[in-house]
A and B are shown apart, each in its own frame.
Chain A
Amino acid sequence: RKEVEQDPGPFNVPEGATVAFNCTYSNSASQSFFWYRQDCRKEPKLLMSVYSSGNEDGRFTAQLNRASQYISLLIRDSKLSDSATYLCVVKGGISTDSWGKLQFGAGTQVVVTP
C-alpha cells in the first residue's frame, strides 16, 4: 500500500464551480500535512498547511480527518489559473522513524475549463 494515495484525476471543473478531492495516508503517526501545487514542468509550491481543526485560505479549504486518515482540499469559485496538479504531502512526527520525512502523493490533476 502506498504511504500517500491520491486520485490522479483529471478533475475537469467548469470555471466558477467547486471541486473537492481527498488524499489518504497510511502512517497514523503522521503529524503535519500540507497541500502543494505543481504546475506543468515547474517546482511544487506550498499552497497551504492543513491544521487539525481545518483551515481556509481564500477560496481554498483544507480539512483533516485523523480517524479515517485522510485530508481534503476544496476549491470554491474555480479560476482558470487553478489548473494544476495538487500534491498531498504528509510529514512524520517526532519520535517516529519517519520524522522529518515528507511523503508525497502522486498528485491530483485539476483542469478548470472556460
Chain B
Amino acid sequence: ETGVTQTPRHLVMGMTNKKSLKCEQHLGHNAMYWYKQSAKKPLELMFVYSLEERVENNSVPSRFSPECPNSSHLFLHLHTLQPEDSALYLCASSQENWSQPQHFGDGTRLSIL
C-alpha cells in the first residue's frame, strides 16, 4: 500500500488516440506531481500542483494536459502523442514544505505505437 495509486498500470495507445492517466493520493498531502521516466534517464519533473494550483510546468509539450480537480486527485490527459513519449509516468505527492519527501505511485507504463 503506497498511499498513492495510479491507473492504469499499463497503457498502449496509437498516436491519434486520447487517453487519461489517473492518480489518487490517500496521504492527506497538499501537493501532487507528474514525472516522466525514460529508460536510463533521471526522472523528469513535468507538472507540480500545490493546493490545487499549478505551480510548475517544465516546458512540457501541449499534447500533455494536467488536471487537478482537488488535492487528492491528479490527471494527465494525453492526445496525439509521439513514439518518444513512451515511458513510465509517475505520480507523486507530498506535504509541501522544504523538508518533506515525495511519495510515488506505482506508475503507468505507456507505450505509443
Chain A positions near chain B (C-beta within 8 angstroms): 4, 31-32, 34, 41-46, 49, 87, 89, 91-94, 99-102, 104-107
Contact = CB atoms under 8 A, between A and B. Distances in A.
Q: Is the interface of B mostly helix, strand, loop or mixed?
A: loop
B53 interface: no
Contacts of A92: 98
Interface in B57-113: 88, 90, 96, 98-107, 109
B99 to A, nearest CB: 5
Contact of B106 (A42, A46, A104): A42
B48 interface: yes
Interface of B: 2, 31, 40-43, 45, 48, 50, 55-56, 88, 90, 96, 98-107, 109
Given A4-B42, A44-B43, A106-B40, A32 B105 contact: no
Please indicate which of the listed interface residues B2, B104, B109 has the most CB atoms of chain A within 10 Å of its own CB: B104
